[in-house]
A and B are shown apart, each in its own frame.
Chain A
Amino acid sequence: MALIIFVFCLLLPFLLTLYQNKTILRTIRLNLVHLQLSDLVIIHPSETFNFTFKAQDENLTQIRIFAQTQSSFSLFDHYTLRLKQISTGEEYLTTFSAFSLWDKVATLKFPGISDSQNQDFQISIKANTYNSGNIELARAYQDTDQLIFQPYYSQPISFLEALRIVIFDRLSWRLFPFLILIPLGGYLIKFYPISKK
C-alpha cells in the first residue's frame, strides 16, 4: 500500500500534466508567425541530405537553422551542416556531434540576405556516422526578420505517443536515477514506525 502511495506521488503529477498538455507538443516553442514542417530526415552513414527552398518573405534579414540528432551513441560521430545561397554560392557550414547524450542543438546562421523574395537556398546535411541517424528539421518564420529551421516533433497522436516521446526521446537517460528511486523508496517505507494503537 505504502509503495502504491509512493509511486502515486511520484508519477501522478507528471502523467496528469502530460495528459492535459499533450496538445502542446503540436505547437511550436518560439513566438512564430508561420510554421511549415519539413519531414523527419533519416540519413544513412556517409549520405548527404539536400533540401532546397526559397526565402519567400520580403524583409527577411537572416536565416537560422536548428538541427538535432537523437540516435548516435558514438562520441566520434558527427554531422556537417551547410547553408548555401545558390545564386551567389556563398555558404556557411558547421559540424555538430551526433552523440545523443549531450542533447545539443546545432545552429547555423546566414546573415545579411538581400532581395530575400527571389533567393534560393540549399541546406545540406552530411552524416559522418557509423549508423543511420534521425535529423529533425522544422521551418518557421519568426516575427518579421528571420526564417528559422527548428527541430520539432510533428504530430503526436495520442497520450501514449506523447508519453513515449517525452520519456524515451526527451528525458531518456536523465531518468536513470528514477529507476533506483522506486525500489529504494519501497524498501525504506517499510521502516516507517506506524503506531498500532
Chain B
Amino acid sequence: MLKSIKLKWGICFFFSLALLWAFILPPFQGTDESAHFGQVRLWSTASQIQCRNEIYAMAQVYRTAALRFNPLSTYAGPETGGRRDDPHFYDHGCEHFMISPLYYLVTSLVLTIMPDNLELQFYALRILGAILFSMAFYVIARISTLLFGDKKDQILFTLLIGFQPIFIISTITISYDGLLNFIFLLSFWTATSFLSQKGVFAKYNRFMLFAILLSILGLTTKLSGIFLPFFFFFALIISKKLRWSWALFFLGGLIPLFLWFLFKVAHYTIPIAGMKTFFMETPWTNLQVLFIERWGHLFSGFWGEYGTQDGSLPFVFLLIFALFFIFSLGGIMKSYFKKTPNLSLESYSLICILFYEVVVTLTNIQTDHQSILDFGFVQGRYYFLLIAPLFYLFISGIKQWLTPHQKNYFYVGLIVFYLFYHFFFLGAIVIPRFYL
C-alpha cells in the first residue's frame, strides 16, 4: 500500500489515535473491563481476596468519577437511578477461572515489571492496547497490498478498518477481544498470502505452520478462536492444495478441540437448552427475531455501541452505512455473474463470513427473546473477528458499480464521510457522555 516511510508515519498516526481513545475513554467503560483487569491482577500478583478488594475499591472510585460525568455509566445502571452504591454488584473478575489464558498471561507479565499502582497498571495496559492497535494497522496495510492492485483501494481498505471507532475501543480497552481480533487479522493475512501466492505465507509448509500456530494462539486467547482451524481449512480447499496427510492431521487435531468446545458450550447452556422450545414458536417469529431484530442490533452494535450500554449512533449514520452495504452486496453479486478476477479471495472471504454467521445464528437459537438481546451473540463487536474480509467484500462490491473516474470522487467522499463519522463518534457521543 504505502512506501515504508509512509507506513511508519501511518503507524505513528494510528498509534496516536489509539492513544487518544485510550486516554479519553474513562476506566472500566470498555466491555467487562473491570472483570478483565481483575483477572490480569489475579494472574500477576494478587491473591483472590486482595484482588477483589482492590478492584472493588478502584471500581468504586471510578464509578464515582463516571457518575460525576455520566449518571447512566456502567457503574450506575439507569434502573437504579444512579444510586447503586454496593460495589458487590460489579463484576471484578477475581473469581473467574479462564480456560483461555494467553491474554492474561502476556499482560500479567507486563504488570510484573510495573510499580504496584493500580492506575499506572491500568493505563499501561491501555497503552499496550494502543500498541496492539498500531500492530494491527501494519497487518491491515500488508493485507491490503495482497487484496488490491490499486493504491486507492488499498488506502480505503486501511482507513475503513483503522478509523472504525468500535474496533479501536475493542482493541485499546483491557480485554482479550483486542488480541483475538489481532490474531484473526494475522490469520487472514496468512490465508490471503497463500491464496494469492504472494507475500511471506505463499509457500505451503509455511502456511501450514502458521495456520497451526495461529489456531493454537487463537484458541488459547478466547473460545471464539475455534473458528480459525476451519478458516484455514477453507483456504486449503479453495486453493485446491489440500493434502490428505495434512487434512487428517488437521481433522485429528480438531476432535479434541471440538470436544472442548462442546464442553464449554454445555457449560454456558446457550444453544442446546433453547433448541427444543425454539421450534415451538411460529416460524415467522423465529425468523423475525433471528434475522431482523438480531441483525438490527448487530448492525447498530458494529457501528455505534461500545461497552455495555453507553453511546448510540444517530440513525442517519446507520442508514447511510446500510445503503452502502446494500450497494456493495449488489456489486458482489454482479461480480459473481461477471466472473471477475480475484474470485478465489472473494469466495474465501464470503465462505468465512457465511460459516461464522451460520454458527452464530445457531448459537442464538433460544426461545427467551429478552435473553437474546441481553446475553446472546448479538453484539456487533463479535464480528470484528471478520473485519478484514467484511471490508474487503465491501470495497470489492462497491468497485463493481464505479468507473475509474467515478471511483476517484466516490472514494474521497467516502473517506471524508468516514472521518466525520469517526470524529463524530468521539466528539459528539463519547466526550459529551463523560466530559460535558
What residues of chain A have their CB less than 8 Å away from a CB belonging to chain B?
5-6, 9-18, 21, 24-25, 29-31, 66, 68, 102-105, 107, 142-143, 146, 150-151, 166, 170-171, 173-178, 180-181, 184-185, 187-188, 191-195, 197
Are B6 and A13 in contact, with the CB atoms below 8 A?
no
> CA A142 – CA B84 in complex, angstroms?
13
> CA A107 – CA B12 in complex, angstroms?
39
**Known interface pairs A10-B423, A178-B20; A17-B436 also in contact (CB < 8 Å):** yes
- Starting from the known contacts A30-B67, A104-B61, 15 additional A-B residue pairs (CB-CB under 8 Å) come to A16-B428, A29-B67, A30-B71, A66-B68, A107-B64, A146-B83, A174-B24, A175-B23, A177-B23, A180-B12, A181-B17, A184-B9, A184-B16, A192-B155, A195-B404
> CA A12 – CA B425 in complex, angstroms?
11
B6 partner residues in chain A, CB cutoff 8 A = 188, 191
A102 partner residues in chain B, CB cutoff 8 A = 119
Q: Would you give the 0/1 interface string for B61-94, flagging 1 where the beta carbon is closer than 8 Å to chain A?
A: 1001101111100000000011100000000000
B420 partner residues in chain A, CB cutoff 8 A = 9, 12-13
**Known interface pairs A14-B431, A171-B431; A177-B17 also in contact (CB < 8 Å):** yes
Among A15, A181, A191, point to the contact of B16 (Cβ < 8 A).
Answer: A181
- Whether, in the assembled complex, B354 has its beta carbon less than 8 Å from a beta carbon of chain A, the answer is no
Are B423 and A13 in contact, with the CB atoms below 8 A?
yes
Nearest chain A CB to B173's CB is how many angstroms away? 15
What residues of chain B have their CB less than 8 Å away from a CB belonging to chain A?
2, 6, 9-10, 12-13, 16-17, 19-20, 23-24, 60-61, 64-65, 67-71, 81-83, 119, 151-152, 155, 404-405, 408, 412, 416, 419-420, 422-424, 426-428, 431-432, 435-436
> CA A157 – CA B173 in complex, angstroms?
36
Nearest chain B CB to A112's CB is how many angstroms away? 15
For the A-B complex, the count of residue pairs with Cβ-Cβ distances under 8 Å equals: 128
A197 partner residues in chain B, CB cutoff 8 A = 404-405, 408
Q: What are some 12 contacts across the A-B interface (CB < 8 A)? A: A9-B422, A10-B427, A17-B431, A17-B432, A31-B82, A105-B64, A170-B69, A177-B23, A184-B16, A187-B9, A188-B9, A192-B412
Tell which of A12, A166, A177, A195 has the most Cβ of chain B within 10 Å: A177
Are B416 and A14 in contact, with the CB atoms below 8 A?
no
Are B20 and A9 in contact, with the CB atoms below 8 A?
no
Are A9 and B419 in contact, with the CB atoms below 8 A?
yes
> CA A25 – CA B436 in complex, angstroms?
6
> CA A192 – CA B291 in complex, angstroms?
39
Nearest chain B CB to A105's CB is how many angstroms away? 5
A17 partner residues in chain B, CB cutoff 8 A = 427-428, 431-432, 436
> CA A134 – CA B191 in complex, angstroms?
58
A14 partner residues in chain B, CB cutoff 8 A = 423, 426-428, 431
**Known interface pairs A21-B436, A177-B20; A105-B423 also in contact (CB < 8 Å):** no
Nearest chain B CB to A110's CB is how many angstroms away? 13
Which 10 interchain pairs have the tightest Cβ spacing? A14-B427, A9-B419, A174-B23, A13-B424, A13-B427, A177-B20, A177-B19, A13-B428, A17-B428, A180-B16
Closest to A8 in B: B420
Among A13, A29, A66, A180, point to the contact of B70 (Cβ < 8 A).
Answer: A29
> CA A25 – CA B432 in complex, angstroms?
10
> CA A5 – CA B423 in complex, angstroms?
12
Closest to B405 in A: A197
Q: Is the interface of A mostly helix, strand, loop or mixed?
A: helix
Are B9 and A193 in contact, with the CB atoms below 8 A?
no
Closest to A10 in B: B423
**Known interface pairs A9-B419, A29-B71, A30-B82; A176-B151 also in contact (CB < 8 Å):** no
A30 partner residues in chain B, CB cutoff 8 A = 67, 71, 82
A188 partner residues in chain B, CB cutoff 8 A = 6, 9-10, 13
Among A5, A142, A171, point to the contact of B83 (Cβ < 8 A).
Answer: A142
Nearest chain B CB to A164's CB is how many angstroms away? 13
Are B68 and A6 in contact, with the CB atoms below 8 A?
no
> CA A93 – CA B16 in complex, angstroms?
41
B404 partner residues in chain A, CB cutoff 8 A = 195, 197
Are B436 and A24 in contact, with the CB atoms below 8 A?
yes
Nearest chain A CB to B115's CB is how many angstroms away? 11
> CA A174 – CA B23 in complex, angstroms?
5
Are A185 and B68 in contact, with the CB atoms below 8 A?
no
Among A15, A21, A25, A143, point to the contact of B81 (Cβ < 8 A).
Answer: A143
Are B23 and A173 in contact, with the CB atoms below 8 A?
yes
A194 partner residues in chain B, CB cutoff 8 A = 408, 412
B60 partner residues in chain A, CB cutoff 8 A = 107
> CA A18 – CA B422 in complex, angstroms?
17
> CA A29 – CA B119 in complex, angstroms?
25
Nearest chain B CB to A134's CB is how many angstroms away? 15
Are B416 and A9 in contact, with the CB atoms below 8 A?
yes
> CA A10 – CA B20 in complex, angstroms?
12
Closest to A75 in B: B117
A18 partner residues in chain B, CB cutoff 8 A = 432, 436
> CA A114 – CA B51 in complex, angstroms?
36
Tell which of B70, B405, B423 has the most Cβ of chain A within 10 Å: B423
Nearest chain A CB to B274's CB is how many angstroms away? 37
Closest to B3 in A: A191
Closest to A62 in B: B85
Among B16, B65, B155, B412, point to the contact of A105 (Cβ < 8 A).
Answer: B65
**Known interface pairs A66-B64, A177-B19; A11-B13 also in contact (CB < 8 Å):** no
Nearest chain B CB to A138's CB is how many angstroms away? 10
B9 partner residues in chain A, CB cutoff 8 A = 184, 187-188
> CA A15 – CA B427 in complex, angstroms?
8
Are B68 and A150 in contact, with the CB atoms below 8 A?
yes
Among B20, B65, B416, point to the contact of A104 (Cβ < 8 A).
Answer: B65
Closest to B5 in A: A191
Nearest chain A CB to B339's CB is how many angstroms away? 27
